[in-house]
Amino acid sequence: MRLIGQSRHLLWLPDLYTAPMGGHLFHFPRLARADYLNREGQVRAVLDDLLPATPAGPQWFIPHFHADKPDFGDLDVLIGQDALTVPFLTEFRARLGITQTRRVKGIESHDFGGFQVDLMATPPAELRTRFEFMSWGDLGNILGRMMRPLGMKWGESGLLYVYRRPDEAHYLRTYTVSLTIDDVLRAAGLDAAHWHAGFTDEADMFGWAAGASRFSPRPYLAPEGDFGRRILERPGLHRFAEYLERAGWVAPTEREPNQPPEVLLELFPDSGLRAFLDAEATAAERDRVRRSKFSGRLVMALRPELSGKTLGAFMQAFTARPDFWEWVDAATPAEIETRIQAQVAPLDSPV
């Protein structure tokens, strides 16, 4: 067991990930670096021929890995789902001599001479963002954690702003702020040139990431909640926590404060985020007015004989017209109350 963290946030981490793993689906052993690079070269040559880049951009990506990675469990290839056709797969398998294939949840896994090659069907609009998020091991997760105090999340679908209404816990909307890694790195306070040039080893990447102006060691040294559990599940995050400990980092006692939207608007003035926030504020005020004019509580006050399933059936019938909320917007409170009192209860109701 290893101990990660300080004070009341101590977390025991088991000695996981000591046994190297290979292709999970076929249970192949891991492939040494030289052998892997040879296999990857063969796969790239076939993909270059069968799926060349188009004016819209590449049709496939292989995520980056560290220059000193010693061995590999499989090879992930992100392919635009429109290109992943039966003729392509037939030719791809024939050229590489693949005879054993399995399909699980949109991933075509191939036995390439005792090494697993996964072709991952990807929406074309997310092809590059998934490649950037998946590159350099768990760096995507580390960067994503830095975005949370900004009210954003970084993942396979891009850099998204997460909007929640303060008075409605169930209300959540997302807005795409950017689809490029350079914007994520700028928001984190990191040099994008280093990301594109690559990392000599994992320690190089860890040191670079920890140097971000928005980096806090607390999620790794005093882990909590879902992210704390993720550290247990992902070897790269586990090693990052160990790296920070060895480097002498100490977890702050307080969490990173959430930043106001003004910080984001300054970072991304041309993202359209201001218009999105203005539209959400308008919608929130509209819905507040609507709820003040019509609600289940109003119906129960005016029609006390209705309850349970009968009340539900009444509400469903009363609000069935397609333009119901537009009618609420235009009607006066008195007109709404009059219609509620005049509405006939559903025929299958006991009332």
pLDDT for the residue numbered 348: 55
Contacts of 34 (CB under 8 A, 6+ apart): none
- DSSP H stretches of helix in the chain: 33-50, 86-96, 127-134, 139-147, 181-188, 192-197, 202-210, 218-221, 225-233, 235-246, 261-267, 273-293, 296-302, 308-318, 324-330, 333-342
Using DSSP, state whether 132 is helix, strand or coil. Answer: helix
Domains, the chain, with CATH or none: 15-128 (3.30.460.10), 136-271 (no CATH), 294-342 (no CATH)
* CA-wise closest residue to 220 among 198, 244, 204: 244
pLDDT for the residue numbered 23: 53
CB atoms < 10 A from the CB of 81, how many? 15
Q: How far is 63 from 41, CA to CA, in rounded Å?
A: 14
Q: What is the CA radius of gyration of the chain?
A: 27
Contacts of 163 (CB under 8 A, 6+ apart): 151, 172, 173, 174, 175, 276, 277, 280
In DSSP terms, which residues pair with 164 in a beta bridge? 172
The pairing of beta strand 158-165 with beta strand 107-111: unpaired
Q: How many angstroms separate the Cα of 207 from the Cα of each of 198, 255, 286?
A: 13, 21, 48
Q: How far is 259 from 279, CA to CA, in rounded Å?
A: 20
Using DSSP, state whether 111 is helix, strand or coil. Answer: strand
- pLDDT truncated to tens, each residue of the chain (351 aa)? 334 443 333 333 333 333 333 457 888 999 999 999 999 999 999 999 999 999 999 999 999 999 889 999 999 999 999 999 999 999 999 999 998 999 988 899 999 999 999 999 999 999 999 999 999 999 999 999 999 999 999 999 999 999 999 888 899 999 999 999 999 999 999 999 999 999 999 999 999 999 999 999 999 999 888 888 888 788 899 999 999 999 999 999 988 899 999 999 999 999 999 999 999 999 999 999 999 999 999 999 999 999 899 999 999 999 999 999 999 999 999 999 999 999 988 755 444
What sign has the CA pseudo-torsion 234, 240, 245, 250? negative
Q: How far is 1 from 279, CA to CA, in rounded Å?
A: 51
pLDDT for the residue numbered 260: 93
Q: How many angstroms separate the Cα of 24 from the Cα of each of 27, 151, 257?
A: 5, 35, 40
pLDDT for the residue numbered 264: 95
Joined tokens for residue 159: 């850099």
pLDDT for the residue numbered 207: 97
Contacts of 15 (CB under 8 A, 6+ apart): 1, 2
